[in-house]
């Protein structure tokens, strides 16, 4: 399972699809390289990987800053 926070729903959808087929560790690194994007990945065994800003991200609305 992949959850994404991104500046737009279109970006989140495209990013989730890309991340879903990647190695989880590489996927987190990829998301970390993108501005204003965060991810949570849950693997088939229930293990979780998340980007460094996942816990502090509340929402992104257009050009608003992180809340």
What are the Cα distances from residue 22, in Å, to 27, 54, 62? Answer: 6, 18, 27
Where do the structural domains in the chain lie, given as residue ranges? 2-50
Cβ atoms of 41 and 28 closer than 8 Å:
yes
What are the Cα distances from residue 45, in Å, to 18, 36, 42, 49, 57? Answer: 20, 28, 8, 12, 25
pLDDT given at position 38? 97
H-helix or E-strand spanning residue 47: none
Tens-place pLDDT, residues 4-51? 999 999 999 999 999 999 999 999 999 999 999 999 999 999 999 999
Q: Is the per-residue pLDDT at 67 higher than 90?
A: no
pLDDT given at position 57? 82
pLDDT given at position 59? 57
What are the Cα distances from residue 46, in Å, to 6, 24, 26, 41? Answer: 23, 13, 18, 9
pLDDT given at position 29? 98
């Amino acid at each position: 399972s992949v959850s994404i926070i991104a500046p737009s729903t279109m970006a989140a959808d495209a990013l989730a699809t890309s991340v879903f087929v990647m190695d989880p560790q590489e996927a987190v690194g990829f998301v970390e390289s993108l501005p204003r994007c965060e991810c949570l990945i849950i693997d088939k065994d229930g293990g979780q990987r998340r980007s460094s800003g996942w816990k502090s991200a509340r929402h992104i609305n257009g050009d608003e800053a992180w809340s």
